[in-house]
Amino acid sequence: MDFFQKTIKDIKSIKIQGATNVAISAIKAFKWKAKQIKSKNKIEFIGKLEHYKRELIETRPTEPLMRNSLRYILNLLKRSDEREPKKLVKLIDIAADEFLFNLTKAKQKIAQIGASVIKNNSVIFTHCHSSTVMDILKMAKKKGKKFEVIQTESRPLYQGRITAKELVKAGIPTTMIVDSAVSTYIKKADMAIVGADVITAESSLINKIGTLNLALACKRVSIPFFSATVLAKFDPETMFGKQEEIEMRNPKEVWDKPPRRLKILNPAFDVTPRELINAYVTEEGIITPESISEVISLNYSWMFR
């Protein structure tokens, strides 16, 4: 199995998980694959790249950051006057590295901005595993803030354990609960912060299944609910009425040997409507759902091309 196929397998199996890690791995695999392609001309080269882009995108249908990043790289190639395959491969490298650099810079900004939201002696609630939320919590700790975290285990794949390991390693006092205990323990928290897989044109948030329950629980006890995200997780197609597809995962993740005739549903994500979200913590600042589309169109015009 080559590096490209291994990346596909690891993304599908959630060995590589979280929107950011998925996008970074997909970009690296795309870059690698471009170097292996043999083609006579630019049209053939782009045709092959389109095919590999589709293969990557199909690994996780609810990941616009991966889609946007690969589209960004391919668009740069299509718009260039360069025709020679070797030079085109170089262009891919340049575009990919540029995207990765901007992504890293955006995440660093979010860590700084998000850390300022964490109050001293507070209790922060989080769900699943988001590298963006992790960056914020670690930055807050680095800045000398004292706080505790309550986090879910995130069934069925237990991504909460990744969060738990990272937080404990960072020396942040952490308590894990089962997903169904969210409403019980939310009263102990001062705020909740989760990651994001998708920001839609209606400013809704799509994130790990259970996020909606957490947001509803926050509303009930009147504590703020935030999502930390780079703006490139916006799905431009939702502007044209496309309903974001929610990835349905293998029922065996829930129960490997269920009784026959039992139907099991295993959606990976859910949709949290804008009225439950206090703000998005982004590289452009803390932005309310009402203004996020405008900020995205001002700063990321390439997404709409």
- Minimum distance from residue 23 beta carbon to ligand RUB (Å): 8
- Minimum distance from residue 161 beta carbon to ligand RUB (Å): 11
Pick between residue 20 and residue 88 the one whose CB is nearest to ligand RUB.
Answer: 20
Pick between residue 207 and residue 278 the one whose CB is nearest to ligand RUB.
Answer: 207
Please provide residue 300's backbone torsions phi and psi, each rounded to the nearest 5 degrees.
-130, 55
Where does this chain bind ligand RUB (CB under 6 A)?
14, 17-21, 128-132, 159, 194-197, 207-208, 268
Fill in the DSSP letter of residue 234.
B
Q: Is 10 a catalytic residue?
A: no
H helices present in 143-265, as ranges: 160-169, 182-185, 211-221
In the bound complex, which residue of the shown chain has the CB atom lying closest to ligand RUB? 195
C-alpha dihedral, 284 to 71 to 194 to 21, nearest 10°: -110
Number of Cβ within a 10 Å radius of residue 57: 16
- Minimum distance from residue 246 beta carbon to ligand RUB (Å): 11
Pick between residue 229 and residue 278 the one whose CB is nearest to ligand RUB.
Answer: 229
H helices present in the chain, as ranges: 3-12, 19-36, 42-57, 64-79, 85-115, 131-142, 160-169, 182-185, 211-221, 289-299
What is the C-alpha to C-alpha distance for residues 40 and 108, in angstroms, rounded to an integer? 41
Distances from the Cα of 29 to the Cα of 37, 89, 297, angstroms: 13, 13, 28
Structural contact between residues 150 and 125, judged by C-beta atoms closer than 8 angstroms: yes
Which one of the listed residues 2, 81, 93, 128 is annotated catalytic? 128
- Minimum distance from residue 25 beta carbon to ligand RUB (Å): 11
Which one of the listed residues 179, 197, 218, 235 is annotated catalytic? 197
What is the C-alpha to C-alpha distance for residues 24 and 233, in angstroms, rounded to an integer? 13
Q: Is 93 a catalytic residue?
A: no
What is the C-alpha to C-alpha distance for residues 280 and 288, in angstroms, rounded to an integer? 6
Pick between residue 266 and residue 297 the one whose CB is nearest to ligand RUB.
Answer: 266
Structural contact between residues 281 and 302, judged by C-beta atoms closer than 8 angstroms: no
Pick between residue 93 and residue 101 the one whose CB is nearest to ligand RUB.
Answer: 101
- Minimum distance from residue 190 beta carbon to ligand RUB (Å): 20
Hey, which residues are catalytic here? 128, 197
